[in-house]
């Protein structure tokens, strides 16, 4: 997901990603909008929204973090409007073009809808095949930081 090697990202860049995730935890207006009152609520709620979290990480590519972390929730609403469940199984079955069109709808969820739709679909497929359709399984077995980083490296974004 992170694509460190493909992008030439080093340890300093990884710290930047970590710091941006912590910013989301500190952003009171975003937390309130999503129903989290404290940073601890945000972190503690990952179990309720693991696919949202995974997709938020993917969306967080050359757009403001506030928009990136809201995008999975907006995407969920747009999918539900079309009768599509927000799940790894449903998203994995979509075409890149179909998902890109949903991402492009005003207001657009990302400035690179084609690239991001491909990444989201590939992530959904990986969750289905490697994690038995359960994105929470990426971290629920309490892996070490190194193991978790390796798991996220399997995803693009």
Residues 49-85 have pLDDT tens digits of 899 989 998 998 898 888 888 899 999 999 999 999 9
Is residue 81 assigned to a domain? yes
Is residue 40 assigned to a domain? no
- List Cα–Cα distances, 99 to 9, 63, 112, 124, 154, in angstroms: 28, 18, 12, 12, 21
Is residue 78 assigned to a domain? yes
pLDDT > 90? residue 34:
no
- Domain harbouring 110, CATH code: 1.10.340
Is residue 91 assigned to a domain? yes
pTM score: 0.74
CA distance 121 to 127: 10
Residue range of the domain that includes 84 = 46-153
C-alpha dihedral, 98 to 154 to 24 to 99, nearest 10°? 0
Residue with tokens 């679909």: 121
CA distance 32 to 28: 6
Is residue 136 assigned to a domain? yes
Is residue 38 assigned to a domain? no
Is residue 22 assigned to a domain? no
Is residue 95 assigned to a domain? yes
Q: How many domains in the chain?
A: 1
| Cα–Cα–Cα angle for 69, 71, 74, rounded to 5 degrees | 130
| Cβ atoms of residues 90 and 99 within 8 Å | no
pLDDT > 60? residue 7:
no
| Residue-level pLDDT at 155 | 86
């Amino acid at each position: 997901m992170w694509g460190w090697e493909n992008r030439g990202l080093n340890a300093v860049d990884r710290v930047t990603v970590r710091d941006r995730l912590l910013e989301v935890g500190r952003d009171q207006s975003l937390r309130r909008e999503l129903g989290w009152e404290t940073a601890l609520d945000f972190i503690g709620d990952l179990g309720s929204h693991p696919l949202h979290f995974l997709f938020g990480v993917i969306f967080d590519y050359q757009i403001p973090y506030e928009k990136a972390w809201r995008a999975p929730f907006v995407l969920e609403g747009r999918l539900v409007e079309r009768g599509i469940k927000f799940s790894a199984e449903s998203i994995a079955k979509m075409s890149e073009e179909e998902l890109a069109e949903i991402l492009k709808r005003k207001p657009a969820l990302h400035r690179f809808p084609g690239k991001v739709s491909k990444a989201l679909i590939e992530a959904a497929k990986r969750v289905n095949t490697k994690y038995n359709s359960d994105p929470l399984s990426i971290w629920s077995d309490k892996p070490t930081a190194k193991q978790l980083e390796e798991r996220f490296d399997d995803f693009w974004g």
